[in-house]
Structure 1
Amino acid sequence: MRTTLKITAAAAVTTALALGLGACGTSSDPGAGSTASADTSKPLVVAASPTPHADILNFVKKNLAEKAGLKLEVKEFTDYVLPNTATQSGEVGANFFQHKPYLDDFNKKKGTDIVPVVNVELEPLGLYSKKVKALTDLKAGQTVAIPNDTTNEGRALKLLADNGVITLKDGVGTDANLSSVKDAKGLTFKELEAATLPRALNDVDAAVINGNYAIEAKLKPAQDALALEKADGNPYANFLAVKRGNEKDPRVVKLAQLLNSDEVKKYIDDTYDGSVIPSFGAAK
């Protein structure tokens, strides 16, 4: 089925991209996305987490890309490291799986040079449990699992603090780690890789789970979470990203435009029922 493409917010994004979102550069694999030497007749390969990122990209591929003249390939990854290292090395031309605080931390620690291009959607972080029915049922001596990567751990602890489960030291915010907990109220924390948290629900009393992994585990964040991040003012929008210098690749510009189209907004709204929220606009 072909869908008529209508571009609204995408127009502003395209303009920003055309004006230049960074200096030119080259990739170790010219066919993977280097603006200076890429064969833009080749498909743009995009690394993505399976849900919702790869789902959204596959919707674009099946319904919008051909009409827009874009050849698109989607390569799925199930962790938070390989999509960035594959983008840096040129194995893929772009990725779609992460938010800005995570990318900033990754670039700093790994010495990579990856930049955001366009925001697409937000997946609220949530607290889930198979053993308690409400936040007030969490008691001293119980165990809560949280993501072990720096940015999502801080995000998880802030969610718990915002909902009165724990108390953080003053002024910590999303930079929190376990040493930032002023009062754990008798709870024990278990740090685990984000992708494993849904499977840990049987072994802990509760877990803070990233939205994409919650959805993959058939959880419904808008219904099942004991506590859920608010969308307003949330800095954790997930975006399309590339290695610096590849922002002007015509394929990247075209994909950014499609990802901010009315059709993608409708797809997200209809498919995820509030568990994933459209969050369009140029990423900074």
Structure 2
Amino acid sequence: MVVPLGLLGYGLSAQGDDKKLTVAASPVPHAEILEYVRDHLAKKAGLELDVQEYSDFVVPNNATESGEVDANFFQHKPYLDDFNKKNGTHIRPVANVELEPLALYSKKVKSLKQIKSGQTVAVPNDSVNEGRALQLLDRTGLIKLKPGAGQGASLDDIADRKGLKFEEIEAPSVPRSLTDVDAAVINGNFALEAHLSPNKDALAVEKEKDNDFTNFLAVKDGNQDDPRVRKLAKLLQSDEVKKFIEKKYDGGIVPSFGPVKD
């Protein structure tokens, strides 16, 4: 169920229920993964799980901060750090779960070597994902970033475009641009919706190891050791969930377990 934003504060709180754990999540893949846990693993672990879907990236953190939900699962560390700083919230990561790798796709060329000067590459236009996209293009050698350009790199941080042109597009719309540009950097979840597989279709894929953009379970600071949260964290990092992610998403989403850098 996608929760209408206007219903917040009208009876949706899990407070007062000592057993049920209410988690806010974006529909794909986060709610799908939580629903798998709810339907196949939670009961045996003694956990009652309520999954609330949100299409908004702001409300889940605010709802977690206020206690209207107990936890959320939809974001990565750079986004959370920026959100906490700008909004004065106190959300903390608990357990890494999955990565939605950025990848470079094309309908017009078959390899990186075929991308030449004068061609156009589409990149997401938000600061976090554009930075990720440019870091990927830098690692492939298609561009060269200025020294010190980090996760928030923008087009102004390109030292050498090597003749490439760039088109900045909202991340969800980038897949639709593939027929209009020579190549495009697309987020894993949006690639999945467009039936693109990093394993089969991509020219280059973001590295998985030590990736700062792994998505995690998060709670308000102070609730990290809630027994219900710890149960869910353990289930989300289980072999069963690993197999579910690998089978269902075919590389568009990949398991990325382990401790969270906080």
Tell me the TM-score normalised to structure 2 length.
0.85
Instruction: Tell me the amino acid that sits aligned with residue 223 of structure 2.
Output: N
Alpha-carbon distance change, 146 to 82 in structure 1, aligned in 2, over 3 angstroms: farther
State whether structure 2 residue 34 is matched by structure 1 residue 50.
no
Alpha-carbon separation, structure 2, partners of 1:259 and 1:99:
15
Q: In angstroms, what is the RMSD of aligned CA positions?
A: 2.4
State whether structure 2 residue 77 is matched by structure 1 residue 125.
no
Contact 2:134 2:153 (8 Å CA) reproduced: yes
Aligned to 1:234: 211
Instruction: Tell me the amino acid that sits aligned with residue 133 of structure 1.
Output: K
Contact 1:32 1:44 (8 Å CA) reproduced: no
SS in 2 for 1:179: helix
SS in 1 for 2:207: coil
Q: 1:169 aligns with which of 142, 146, 170?
A: 146
Tell me the TM-score normalised to structure 1 length.
0.79
Aligned to 2:137: 160
State whether structure 2 residue 123 is matched by structure 1 residue 146.
yes
Alpha-carbon distance change, 244 to 194 in structure 1, aligned in 2, over 3 angstroms: farther
Contact 1:51 1:215 (8 Å CA) reproduced: no
Q: 1:216 aligns with which of 193, 200, 206?
A: 193
Give the number of the structure with larger relative contact order, counting CA–CA contacts within 8 Å between residues 6 or more apart: 1
State whether structure 2 residue 39 is matched by structure 1 residue 62.
yes
Q: Which runs of structure 2 are paired with 1:102-117 in the superposition (5 Å)?
A: 102-117=79-94
Q: State the 1:32 CA deviation.
A: 4.0
% of aligned pairs identical? 62
Q: Which runs of 5+ in 2 are unaligned?
A: 1-8
Alpha-carbon distance change, 122 to 200 in structure 1, aligned in 2, over 3 angstroms: same
Alpha-carbon separation, structure 1, partners of 2:250 and 2:68:
34
Alpha-carbon separation, structure 1, partners of 2:50 and 2:181:
38
Q: State the 1:279 CA deviation.
A: 1.9
Q: Which runs of structure 2 are paired with 1:1-284 in the superposition (5 Å)?
A: 32=13, 38-41=15-18, 43-284=20-261
Alpha-carbon distance change, 111 to 191 in structure 1, aligned in 2, over 3 angstroms: farther
Alpha-carbon separation, structure 1, partners of 2:187 and 2:87:
22
Aligned length: 253
